């Protein structure tokens, strides 16, 4: 293959560095993996949330182009989802139509021009489905307490459900979980499962004992706030063990709960190294969620770095990683599992088991090669 045949456009919903939350973690480490396999990447990304720096991205990309997100109030009245309509900068269309290179669209968010480009039928296009977006928004709406935000999230979910029909276009879909693959295959038979990309190359778990139980994640997101509140009210309050809640921008309600439960400590906004250390030193990672959408990167992070992982079925099902966790759903079963594990040393045999399964099931290089095969298929 010539260099030109090994060159792509990658359109990202956000600037994927720093890689500090779920979606951009997948994008950033995907870029690194593709670069490692010889792919030249023309990166296009929407610039907002003060993520203007492209220096790190330029190490892995042939070009990096930023586009302002168009945050017009009138777009809330559009029949298209706001997360799509606000990413409709026509300079992106102009740049994508300059050549015939394969295109990887990251998330439904970035697909405003997908139909126009795919209708020409002369190039390979993949949409990376990070989620079943309308289900995600409906569940965010259900968990949201602010009525204005709840109405917006529900409205956006309805628009996303209708907009999903665009995925019937002449494209491929790269689903991030097996469950999502099954869903999108009904819309488009050219759907494949490609696991989440991540930062880990080896198991970093420590043998022995830790002295606390951990829940971590973005603690400003309603899904995680709900899970953290459930743990604080129903688990921490019934046990004497030390609990740590660590993550981005903890909600005020969590601080209120920590003041009522002296065995809860909150660590706000740890950097990547600190978060990995917090996960490594925990004895048990609690991986509970009430939202069965997308992949939970905290699951991958905990299995590569942590000791014992207690997960509910909503977190773990169809991940291929079920055998690496203690899977419990009822409150009494979770509490019993904590009591049984808290004095049990984490053994080398558990690390060996993770090496066999994780390095096979969530391997960046294997996933990148699968993407390459799709991007350059005849």
Q: Which domains does the chain have, with CATH numbers?
A: 4-198+363-375 (3.40.50.2000), 213-361 (3.40.50.2000)
Residue 152, both tokens: 């917006």
| Contact in structure between 214 and 332 (CB atoms under 8 Å) | no
| Contact in structure between 187 and 167 (CB atoms under 8 Å) | yes
The pLDDT value recorded for residue 293 is: 65
Phi-psi region of 336 (alpha: psi -120 to 50; beta: other; left: phi over 0): alpha
| Contact in structure between 313 and 329 (CB atoms under 8 Å) | yes
Residues 213, 264: Cα–Cα separation, whole Å: 10
| Contact in structure between 7 and 40 (CB atoms under 8 Å) | yes
Give the list of residues 6+ apart from residue 19 with CB closer than 8 angstroms, or none.
25, 27, 28, 29, 199
The per-residue b/e assignment along 344-354, b for 16 or more CB within 10 angstroms, e otherwise, is eebeeebbeeb
The pLDDT value recorded for residue 294 is: 61
Residue 17 is given by DSSP the state -
Residue 208 is given by DSSP the state B
**Bridge-partner residues for 284, per DSSP?**
213, 308
Residue 28, both tokens: 């950033």
Which ranges of the chain have pLDDT less than 70?
A: 1-5, 293-295
Residue 298, both tokens: 């905290």
The pLDDT value recorded for residue 2 is: 47
| Contact in structure between 346 and 209 (CB atoms under 8 Å) | yes
The pLDDT value recorded for residue 291 is: 79
The pLDDT value recorded for residue 29 is: 97
Residue 343 is given by DSSP the state T
Nearest alpha carbon to residue 314 among 322, 324, 306: 322
The per-residue b/e assignment along 167-176, b for 16 or more CB within 10 angstroms, e otherwise, is bebbbbbbbb
Nearest alpha carbon to residue 25 among 322, 374, 285, 294: 294
What counts of helices (H) and strands (E) characterise the chain?
15, 13
Nearest alpha carbon to residue 227 among 322, 292, 146: 292
The pLDDT value recorded for residue 342 is: 96
The pLDDT value recorded for residue 1 is: 45
Residues 291, 177: Cα–Cα separation, whole Å: 14
Q: What is the Rg, in whole angstroms, of the alpha carbon atoms belonging to the chain?
A: 21
Residues 263, 299: Cα–Cα separation, whole Å: 24
């Amino acid at each position: 293959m010539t260099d030109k045949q090994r060159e792509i456009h990658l359109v990202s919903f956000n600037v994927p560095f720093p890689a500090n939350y779920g979606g951009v973690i997948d994008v950033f480490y995907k870029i690194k993996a593709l670069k490692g396999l010889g792919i030249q990447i023309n990166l296009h990304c929407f610039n907002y949330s003060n993520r203007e720096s492209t220096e790190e991205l330029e190490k892995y990309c042939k070009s990096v182009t930023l586009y302002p997100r168009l945050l017009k109030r009138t777009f809330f009245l559009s029949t298209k989802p706001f997360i799509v309509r606000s990413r409709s900068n026509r300079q992106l269309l102009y740049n994508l139509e300059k050549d015939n290179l394969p295109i990887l669209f990251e998330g439904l968010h970035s697909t405003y021009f997908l139909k126009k480009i795919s209708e020409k039928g002369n190039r390979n296009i993949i949409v990376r489905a990070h989620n079943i977006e309308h289900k995600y928004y409906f569940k965010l709406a259900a968990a949201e307490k602010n009525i204005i935000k709840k109405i917006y999230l529900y409205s956006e979910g309805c628009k996303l459900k209708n907009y999903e029909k665009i995925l019937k276009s002449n494209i491929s879909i790269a689903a991030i979980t097996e469950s999502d693959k099954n869903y999108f295959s009904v819309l488009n038979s050219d759907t494949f499962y490609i696991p989440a990309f991540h930062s880990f190359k080896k198991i970093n778990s420590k043998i022995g004992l830790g002295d606390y139980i951990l829940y971590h994640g973005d603690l400003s997101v309603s899904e995680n706030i709900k899970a953290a509140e459930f743990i604080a009210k129903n688990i921490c309050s019934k046990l004497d063990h030390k609990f740590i809640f660590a993550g981005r921008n903890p909600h005020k309600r969590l601080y209120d709960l920590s003041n009522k439960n002296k065995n809860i400590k909150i660590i706000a906004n740890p950097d990547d190294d600190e978060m990995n250390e917090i996960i490594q030193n925990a004895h048990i990672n609690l991986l509970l969620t009430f939202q069965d959408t997308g992949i939970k990167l905290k699951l991958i992070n905990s299995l590569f770095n942590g000791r014992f992982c207690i997960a509910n079925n909503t977190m773990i099902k169809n991940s291929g990683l079920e055998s690496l966790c203690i899977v419990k759903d009822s409150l009494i079963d979770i509490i019993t599992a904590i009591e049984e594990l808290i004095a049990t040393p984490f053994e080398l045999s558990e690390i060996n088991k993770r090496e066999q399964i994780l390095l096979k099931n969530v391997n960046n290089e294997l996933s990148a090669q699968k993407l390459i095969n799709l991007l350059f298929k005849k």
